Amino acid sequence: MIRDLFTKNKKKQAITIPSADAKNDVPEGLMTKCPECKEIILTKDLMKTAKVCPKCDHHFKMTAWERVECLFDKDTFESMDDHLKTENPLNFPSYTEKVESDAEKTGLNEAVLTGIGKIGGNEVAVAIMDSHFRMGSMGSVVGEKITRAVEKATEKGIPVLIFSASGGARMQEGVLSLMQMAKTSVALKRHADNGLLFISVMTYPTTGGVSASFASVGDINIAEPKALIGFAGRRVIEQTVREKLPEDFQTAEFLMEHGQVDAVIHRCEMTEALAKLIELHVKGGK
């Protein structure tokens, strides 16, 4: 009994405390300047518009916990696997310190937050990547957390949503990082074979190994406006093909034009769109 209470408390803590932490720890001043239109916005007002610039629609980067606030039915989200800890398998100098410092800064154990929650009344498993943590790069823990979230979704027979925000594979974990692309893929295949829905939401940035694995193979691929999405880096491509690339190259809109995403959806309409899509996949209809 006491133990039950204890676990319950622990779970509750995991929901609320990191959220508050994350908000307090992001070192933002009172005012935020939009990098696109240079408009000065009251930082506290920015969250009211889901961190979208009210003047030019620029989508600011979001922390994983900020996205949770926008996405789920009130108090329904419970995080998972916050206890997994990154190791330093290649013994890279100062890697552990960098991970620990980002953990402190973001209130996350790694570059993805996973869990179960309800959207529009329907239960879903989610993985939300956070580019404030080692540029959202995928190492062993990120791969493991996403895999466990997908497996949980398969076990419960519910959809899985992955919000990507990642520069790609985590260099400091070498080929182990590369293999996380395969690990998450085998889990997603099993989920798919059970007839379950996977929605991939690509946000700024979705590149490299994340783009070349789960992010691109949703039953439905959605992107946020102007999000950078691509396999190779712009500079590498320019050096290879020796030509200047168009301005909109590797943007969400560019991908839509080239048939790679189903829809580009404004962040303020994202939750409603996702709720509708999930509703459309409930077995037996309304």
Partner 1 sequence: MSKSLAFEEPIVKLREKINELEEFTSANDVDLSDEIGKLKTRLSNLETEIYSNMEPWDRVQVARHPARPTTKDYIAELFEDFMELHGDRTFGDDAAIVGGIGFFETKPVTVIGHQRGKDTKENVKRNFGMPHPEGYRKALRLMKQAEKFGRPIICFIDTKGAYPGKAAEERGQSEAIARNLVEMAGLKVPVVSIVIGEGGSGGALALGVANHIHMLEHSTYSVISPEGAASILWKDSSLSKQAAEAMKITAPHLKEMKIIDEIIPEVLGGAHRDPKAQALQIREVLRASLDTFREMDEGGIIDDRYKKFRKIGVFSE
Footprint on this chain of partner 1 (rule: CB under 8 A): 81, 83-87, 89-90, 92, 140-141, 143-144, 147, 169, 171-183, 185-190, 192-193, 208-209, 211-217, 229-233, 236-237, 240-241, 243, 245, 249-250, 258-260
CA atoms within 13 A on the CB side of 247: 1
Measured torsion, CA atoms of residues 84, 61, 261, 70, in degrees rounded to the nearest 10: 80
Listed in sequence order, the residues at least 6 apart from 141 whose beta carbon sits closer than 8 Å to its beta carbon are 84, 85, 86, 109, 110
Pick between residue 36 and residue 219 the one whose CB is nearest to Zn ion: 36
Pick between residue 39 and residue 100 the one whose CB is nearest to Zn ion: 39
Q: How far apart are CA 184 and CA 109, in angstroms?
A: 19
Question: Binding residue for Zn ion (CB under 5 A) from 19, 32, 34, 275?
Answer: 34
Q: What's CA 114's distance to the chain center, in Å?
A: 9
Residue 56: name its binding partner from Zn ion, partner 1, none (Cβ under 5 to 8 Å by kind): Zn ion
Pick between residue 155 and residue 269 the one whose CB is nearest to partner 1: 155
- Residue carrying structure tokens 């398969």: 154
Q: Which stretch binds Zn ion (CB under 5 A): 15-23, 34-42, 178-186, 252-260?
A: 34-42
Contact call for residue 36 and Zn ion (CB under 5 A): yes
Contact call for residue 226 and Zn ion (CB under 5 A): no
Task: Report phi then psi at 147, rounded to 5.
Answer: -60, -45
Contact call for residue 56 and Zn ion (CB under 5 A): yes
Cβ contact 66:47 at 8 Å: yes
